[in-house]
Amino acid sequence: MRRKLAAGNWKMNGTGHDLSELAALARAHPDPACDILICPPATLLHRAGETTADTAIAIGAQECHAEESGAHTGDISAQMILDAGARHVILGHSERRQNHGESDEDVRAKARTAMSAGLTTIICVGETLAERDAANTLDIIGGQLSGSVPDTATGENLVIAYEPIWAIGTGRVPDPAQIGEVHGFIRSRLERRFGAGVGRSVRLLYGGSVKPDNAADIFAVPDVDGALVGGASLKAADFSPIITALEASG
Ligand code: 13P
C-alpha cells in the first residue's frame, strides 16, 4: 500500500513571517491519514524544520547540486539540506529545466547524489502544450523518466510528480482521463524498468493548478497518490482542504 502524499512547493515565496502558515497547518492536521510535506525556499529550511518539529509535517528543499561540495557559488548540497533538517528534495521541476537549462542528465546526477545522501527525491516530468497538441505527451514523459531517474531508485527514495507545464499556475487542469493515462504510463514504465515490487511502491503525484475545489476529482484518478501543489500550498486555509480531500480519497 502506498501512503498518500500532499506536497507543497513554495517556489520563490515565503519569508519568516509565513512560518505561521506552517504552524497553522500543523495544528489543523495533528494526525493525518497521509504524509504532508512543505518545500519552502532554502533560506527557510532550518526555521521551517524547527516550526514543524514534533508535528506531522515534513520539510523538503526545492533543488540541490549534483556534487557533494566545492566551488559552486549560490548552490546548496544534499548534505546541507540534511543538515538543515530536511529529508526530501524536489528535482527537475519544469521551472528549473526551463529557467536554468537543466537536462535529464543533470537531474539524474542530482538525484543520484541526493539518494545516496539519504534524501527522498521528487522528480518532476511534464509536457508543454505544443507537445500535447502534437500527441507527443507519452514520448516526452517516457524520455524524461528514463533520462532523469537514476538506477538507484527505490519505493522509499523516489517520488514522481507529473506536472504538465501548461497546467502550472494557469488554472487549467487536464481532465481525469488525461491524468490517468499519463499516471498509468508512468507506473508501467517504472514496473518495466525496476520490477513490479519497486514500480508499484513509487508514489506518483499530480501537479498543476491543484485547488481545494478540484482536488477530490484529481485524487479519484487511479494511480494518483497525491499532489505537488504550488500556489495553493502557501496558505494553510487553501492547503488544508486539499489534504482533507486526499485523506478522504482512501
Ligand atoms: P501551481 O499549483 O501553482 O499550479 O504549481 C504547481 C507546481 O509547479 C508545483 O510544483
Q: pLDDT tens for residues 127-153?
A: 999 999 999 999 999 999 999 999 999
pLDDT, tens digit (0-9, with 9 covering 90-100), for 14-70: 999 999 999 999 999 999 999 999 999 999 999 999 999 999 999 999 999 999 999
Protein residue with least CA distance to atom 2, ligand 1: 230
pLDDT at site 213: 98
What distance in Å separates the CA atoms of residue 199 and residue 191, rounded to the nearest whole number?
4
**1 pLDDT higher than 90:** no
Known catalytic membership, residue 72? no
88 CA → ligand 1 middle, Å? 17
* Ligand 1 nearest atom to the CA of residue 211, by list position: 2
Q: What is the mean pLDDT of residues 174-185?
A: 98
Q: Is 207 in the pocket of ligand 1 (CB under 6 A)?
A: yes
Rounded Cα distance, 148 and 104, in Å: 5
If you measure from the C-alpha of residue 195 to the centroid of ligand 1, how many angstroms do you get, rounded to a whole number? 30
81 contact partners, CB below 8 Å, separation of at least 6: 45, 61, 64, 89, 114, 117, 119
Taking only the tens place, the pLDDT of each residue in 62-98 is 999 999 999 999 999 999 999 999 999 999 999 999 9
pLDDT beyond 80 at 3 = yes
pLDDT for residue 189 is more than 90: yes
- Which protein residue has the closest C-alpha to ligand 1 atom 9? 230
Q: Rounded to two decimals, what is the model's pTM?
A: 0.98
